[in-house]
Amino acid sequence: MSPPCKRCASTRMLNLYTAQRVSVVGSTLIGGAIGAWRATAIPGPLPLAVTRFPLAKLPAAMMGAVAGGQTGSCMATSLFEHWLPVGSGTPWLCLSCGCTYRDAYPPLAPNA
């Protein structure tokens, strides 16, 4: 359960680690699709060999997808590195007021 916001006491919070994971996966998929499309797109009319053997473009599409996926993943990771608040603990974003902060881990109970 998310803690209340330290500024406005709202409970509408977003865990930024989860948001980062989702954005990296989404950016990888979108970048891969764009890379595959760019590698296989040919301006102008399609030659006869391409229309009969569409699998001939499969290696180029795979290489474009891998390169595009890596690019999308790197971009999402670098954006989150600059956006996350510094410090230790779980980063939270308040959806009401927009402030970001880290919630310190709860203290460990001493051994009795």
Per residue in 55-66, pLDDT (tens digit) is 667 777 788 888
Mind listing the pLDDT tens digit of every residue in the chain (112 residues)? 677 888 888 888 888 888 888 888 888 888 888 888 877 776 656 555 555 545 667 777 788 888 888 888 888 888 777 777 777 788 888 888 888 888 776 554 555 4
Tell me the two tokens of residue 88: 């230790």
Rounded-to-integer distance, Cα 103 and Cα 110, Å: 21
